[in-house]
């Protein structure tokens, strides 16, 4: 089955976190599929005769409903990584925050222009980022631009730690 490359846009932050956990789990057969994610969501729910939604908490129920919808829409064998929301590293998140302080709501292209105009150098000079992170942050930002376009809003990729 072929589907749009941006299916992650319909994935909640909570489900994206579960997907990330499944992808990082060496005990789960890789490549992980939506079924693997569903099993992780339901791991703590023990029931044989009671419907799954009867005693589970709201968050588990929401995750179950979301993953069931994705399975119905894209199939059990859809790769889980396709539904993982892309998030910036901690260093790029710091650059995005600095860009937001300066520009308000910058696009990835505007942030890259600020990076080239000294924003990254400023963060390094202030000790907020290490000098050895400069190339990694630059490459990560360029990869986001290539994948999501220059007009994507930078804040959408922030990782809130």
Full 3-state SS string of 103-115: HCCCEHHHHHHHH
Q: How far apart are CA 90 and CA 133, in angstroms?
A: 11
**Two tokens, residue 89:** 């590293």
**pLDDT single digits (tens) 3-34:** 445 677 778 878 888 888 888 788 887 788 99
- Can you give the residue ranges of every domain in the chain? 7-83, 90-157
**pLDDT single digits (tens) 49-105:** 445 544 456 788 888 999 999 999 999 998 888 888 777 888 999 999 999 999 999
Confidence check: pLDDT of 44 > 80: no
pTM of the complete model beyond 0.75: no
**pLDDT single digits (tens) 116-125:** 999 999 999 9
């Amino acid at each position: 089955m072929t589907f749009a490359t941006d299916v992650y846009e319909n994935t909640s932050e909570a489900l994206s976190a579960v997907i990330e956990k499944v992808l990082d789990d060496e005990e789960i057969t890789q490549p992980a599929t939506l079924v693997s994610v569903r099993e992780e969501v339901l791991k703590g729910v023990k029931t044989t005769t009671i419907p799954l939604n009867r005693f589970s908490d709201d968050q588990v129920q929401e995750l179950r409903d979301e993953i069931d919808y994705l399975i119905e829409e894209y199939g059990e064998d859809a790769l889980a990584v396709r539904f993982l929301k892309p998030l910036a590293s901690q260093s790029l998140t710091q650059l995005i925050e600095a860009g937001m302080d300066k520009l308000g709501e910058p696009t990835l292209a505007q942030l890259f222009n600020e990076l080239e105009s000294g924003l990254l150098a400023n963060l390094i000079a202030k000790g907020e980022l290490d000098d050895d992170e400069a190339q990694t942050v630059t490459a990560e930002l360029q990869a986001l631009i290539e994948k999501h376009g220059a007009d994507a809003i930078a804040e959408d990729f922030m990782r809130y730690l």
